[in-house]
Structure 1
Amino acid sequence: MEDNLKIERYSTDDLLEKLRDKNIFRTADVEFAILEPSGSLNVLPKKENQPLTPKIIGMTLALEKEPQTVIMDGKVLIEPLEPLKP
């Protein structure tokens, strides 16, 4: 890996800095990393270091409703507020 870094003119310190930018402080926590032509580093953490998501724990979430406009051009729109009446 160090030879590949030299070819790309990328030091170990550069690599570690880019990993820290991604909140990865140990190279052992990285499953796969790729240095893009733009110079940015994309990192896939190992499974045990990836964030926990509802899908992983089998949890389903309620669908989010799209926001409704209730004021337009300084005027209150009554129609979107109708379902909220007691």
Structure 2
Amino acid sequence: MAIQVFLIKHGKFSKKDLRKTRFSLVELLSTIRSAGYPNIRELDYVILEPNGDLSILPNQSVVHLTPRHLSIETDYQGLPIAVVVEGKIQHKNLTLIQKDEKWLQEELTTNGFHQINNIFYAAVMDKDHSLIVDTGTGDQNA
């Protein structure tokens, strides 16, 4: 049975537990910095999970505020569903949003895109079916 290992507790390393793992101190520090926490004193726990992932639990004083913390209601923004990837239509994703290739062609043409093979990435927001197009050349249209 795999167990979780506490590598940092209340801002301090557990040298003994770190030695039990395959993580070096340099790797651990790099992973923590990549997660946005350069100062270990700001962390309550860093846990090596049984699946090999690190759970980084910051001290409440450095947790990023969210609308929920401030009791602010937010609207669902939607999920972008890729419909063109590197010039190829993603038919399964079109079906997922209950659209077809004809609809996609019309939407792209309306937005000034006439050749699918020139589109690097296009997505449709699941909430309102708005289109996001990126040619991969820095020219975008929303």
Q: Please report the TM-score for the alignment, with normalisation by the length of structure 2.
A: 0.43
Residue 37 of structure 1, CA deviation: 3.9
Report the residue type matching 1:72 in the other structure: W
Identity %: 24
Residue 46 of structure 1, CA deviation: 1.1
Distance 1:43 1:65 in 2: 27
Residue 15 of structure 1, CA deviation: 1.3
Is residue 5 of structure 1 aligned with residue 36 of structure 2? no
- Give RMSD over aligned pairs: 2.8
When residues 10 and 64 of structure 1 are mapped into structure 2, their CA distance, relative to the original with a 3 A threshold, is closer
Q: What SS does the corresponding residue of 1:33 show, helix, strand or coil?
A: strand
Distance 1:64 1:9 in 2: 40
Give the equivalent residue in structure 2 for 1:72: 103
Distance 2:18 2:51 in 1: 15
Is residue 52 of structure 1 aligned with residue 101 of structure 2? no
Distance 2:15 2:24 in 1: 8
Long gaps (5+) in structure 1: 77-86
**Which of the numbers 19, 25, 37 marks the counterpart of 1:24?**
37
Is residue 39 of structure 1 aligned with residue 70 of structure 2? no
Aligned positions, number: 75
Distance 1:41 1:66 in 2: 26
Q: Which has the larger radius of gyration?
A: 1
Distance 1:20 1:51 in 2: 15
